[in-house]
Amino acid sequence: MTFNRVKDPRYTASSLTRTVLDQSLFINELLNDSLSSFEYSQRRFITELVYGTVRNMKHLDFWIFKAFKKPLKRIDPELLSIIRTSLYQIIFMNNRDAALVVNEAAELGKKCGGEKTGGFVNFILREILRLDPSKENMEKFFKKDPDKFLQTFYSVPEWLYRRMVALMPEEPVETYLQIINRPLGITLRVEGDEKTKEKVIANLVSKGAEAIDRKSVV
């Protein structure tokens, strides 16, 4: 059976991530043009993978480099994107089993280039799992440079990190790094009465979204 890349949500996510990075495009515009053919749950999955992978790029690339032990530019861009989005699932998506993600990524690598490329993807991800990509283990690599550790773990550029330290010298900078690295929610304004709002919330929840009335939590 021919591999349909267009219909595979995992490949679509890795492809869109690569496009965002290569062409410096706005993610929301790219997603709007690419997800119409997918079901709602698949659109959510792809969206989280693309945003999450790009947002945590420095963190992910740290572990990939530790496993590969060579400059990442030597990895085929298509395979690197598959590895990045798969590693994002392993580290940041608690609802995904690591072994399953590795197997899915290896199969995807195989379909994109054969047994050898599938084996390479499998090796890199399994090597990262062997290293145990936890916060504590990453910190061990930066014993002499705690600032560099925080920049890498929270995937922030050095200039932003230095700016935050300068503006808030009395506060632990990690507190603010945790805030800016947190995924943003979406706020919708519903025109109509309370019953209309309740119907909209119920409809969103029925489709798998988390939706609440902000007034109820103020």
Tell me: pLDDT of 62 over 90: yes
Mean pLDDT of the chain: 86
Task: Count the domains in the chain.
Answer: 3
Residues 164 and 205 in one domain: no
The closest of 144, 136, 103, 147 to 121, measured between CA atoms, is 103
- pLDDT value at position 183? 62
Report residue 191's pLDDT band, with 50, 70 and 90 as the boundaries: confident
Q: Which residues contact 119 (CB under 8 A, 6 or more apart)?
A: 106, 109, 110
For 95-107, how does the pLDDT look when each residue is reduced to its tens digit (9 = 90+)? 889 999 999 999 9
Residues 64 and 151 in one domain: no
Residues 94 and 201 in one domain: no
Residue predicted with more confidence, 4 or 80: 80
Residues 90 and 11 in one domain: yes
- pLDDT value at position 6? 56
Share of the chain above pLDDT 70, in %: 88
Q: Which residue range is the domain that position 192 belongs to?
A: 186-218
For 4-43, how does the pLDDT look when each residue is reduced to its tens digit (9 = 90+)? 455 789 999 999 999 888 877 678 777 877 787 888 888 8
- C-alpha span between 53 and 64 (Å, rounded): 13
Residues 69 and 9 in one domain: yes
